Amino acid sequence: MKKGEHDSKEIPFLEKGRLIFRKLVPEHVDELKALMGNLAVMYAWEHPFSDEQVENWTQKQLSFYAQDGVGYFAAYEKSSGNFIGQAGLHRFELDNLNGFEVCYMLLPQYWHKGYATESVAIFSEYACHKLSLNVLYAQIKSNNQPSIAVAEKSGFRRQGVFSKYYNGKDMEHFLYMKELGGI
């Protein structure tokens, strides 16, 4: 088997451009621990995830797949087969707004190489053509300048500011929106 392949992950969920996305399964836990246990990756969450939190995260994605057909997906670099992080679509509720947001987390060695922007484009297209969504959102912590840049470069426009209560404190976030017509 090639690097980044597991028996239960032979069929990609989505493959486009330089990336392959696979549904998260328990075999991904070690890769996710390296990603989500890294404070540089998780700085917007303000803490690295414990092994138990990563295992719970993986199980939660399985429930999202069953409910919505989407969630976070393991992302692999097509040319090398290397695990580079995770990306996908996630249902959210904010006040009276229900929608889907595009999400991603990448290992630091894959930052500033266009993979986040490419992931956003791939999942924006998927949201439009496979989920028949007209709009897509991004919730970004207000001090996360790299993700703000990715959202704006990808055609998302800031709609507002809100506070998300997480891990015992309020965290200021921006809500971004993109109209998907014409993708």
- Provide the residue ranges of all domains of the chain, joining segments of one domain with +: 7-134
CB atoms closer than 10 angstroms to residue 166: 14
CB crowding 97-131: b at 16 or more within 10 Å, else e: eebbbbbbbbbeebeeeebbebbbbbbbebbbeee
pLDDT at 182 (0 to 100): 67
Question: Is there a contact between 78 and 9 (Cβ–Cβ < 8 Å)?
Answer: no
Task: Enter the tokens of residue 64.
Answer: 């999202």
pLDDT at position 145 is 95
The kind and range of the H/E element at 75 are: strand 72-77
**Angstrom distance (rounded) from CA 123 to CA 13:** 11
Residues of the chain with pLDDT under 50: 1-9
What pLDDT is stored for residue 9 in this prediction?
Answer: 47
Q: Provide the pairing of β-strand 157-166 with 19-23.
A: unpaired
User: 7-134: what fold?
Assistant: Aminopeptidase (3.40.630)
